[in-house]
Amino acid sequence: VDNSRIQFISGKTQSATFTIMNVLGKTLLSNTIAARKGVNEVFVSATDFPNGIYLYSITADGKTSTKRMIIRK
């Protein structure tokens, strides 16, 4: 699978920041997205990153959620 789909729920229509970091905390990708109220999706291309463990975070409305992502090709 070359793409991963990450879903998140937003309580209102707003800007959100999607960030991918390596395990040392270095930012590798940061995008501002227009989140709609309800379920939203972000697609990540695995071809942009080598195999490894990454962290991704979504920040919206002053709250941040961070999760782990493993890329294996």
- For the stretch 51-62, pLDDT in tens is 999 999 999 988
H/E stretch holding 41 reads: strand 38-45
Q: How much is the average pLDDT of 7-35?
A: 96
pTM to 2 decimals?
0.87
DSSP 42: E
Q: Are strands 38-45 and 52-60 parallel, antiparallel or unpaired?
A: unpaired
Is pLDDT at 41 greater than 80 in this prediction? yes
The rounded distance, in Å, linking the Cα atoms of 73 and 63 is: 32
pLDDT for 1 equals 58
**4 vs 14, higher pLDDT:** 14
